[in-house]
Amino acid sequence: VQLQASGGGLVHPGGSLRVSCAVSGRTLSTSTMGWFRLAPGKGRQFVAAIRGSGRITNYARSVKDRFTTSNDNAKNTVYLQMNSLKEDDTAVYYCAISSRQLITSQMSNEQAYDSWGQGTQVTVSS
């Protein structure tokens, strides 16, 4: 399984950015995808997750109502749309995949995911 994250960059506070994660070697529709981030001096944090069906999502409280995750099963790609970005959102963003259809309470657990992408840097700064 390979996960290729892309789309990171530099954005001003209040701006928007979309990161993508292309999956190869596993069918997205039967999996769960998660987004995590790692900021300097902090542990890796859960951001969002989506079931392969696209009908079940989960978000960290800090990003709820600002971030949206979605999937395109035809392209085997997952997206994280980030709006109203804050400097606190600065981090390396990682996508991860679980071969299981995780329930909501499992989605924030790093151990539930079995493959990880290489990460993409998102910097929010004026």
Give 52's pLDDT tier (boundaries 50, 70, 90): confident
DSSP percent split of the chain into helix, strand, coil, nearest 5: 10, 50, 45
Whether pLDDT at 89 is above 90: yes
Which one, of 60, 84, 79, lies nearest residue 19 by Cα? 79
pLDDT the model gives residue 98? 97
Residues near 66 by beta carbon (within 8 Å), at least 6 away in sequence: 82, 83, 84, 85
| Contact of 96 with 27, CB cutoff 8 Å | no
Mean pLDDT of 20-40: 94
pLDDT the model gives residue 19? 98
pLDDT the model gives residue 99? 94
Give 29's pLDDT tier (boundaries 50, 70, 90): confident
Whether pLDDT at 49 is above 90: yes
Residues near 118 by beta carbon (within 8 Å), at least 6 away in sequence: 3, 4, 5, 94
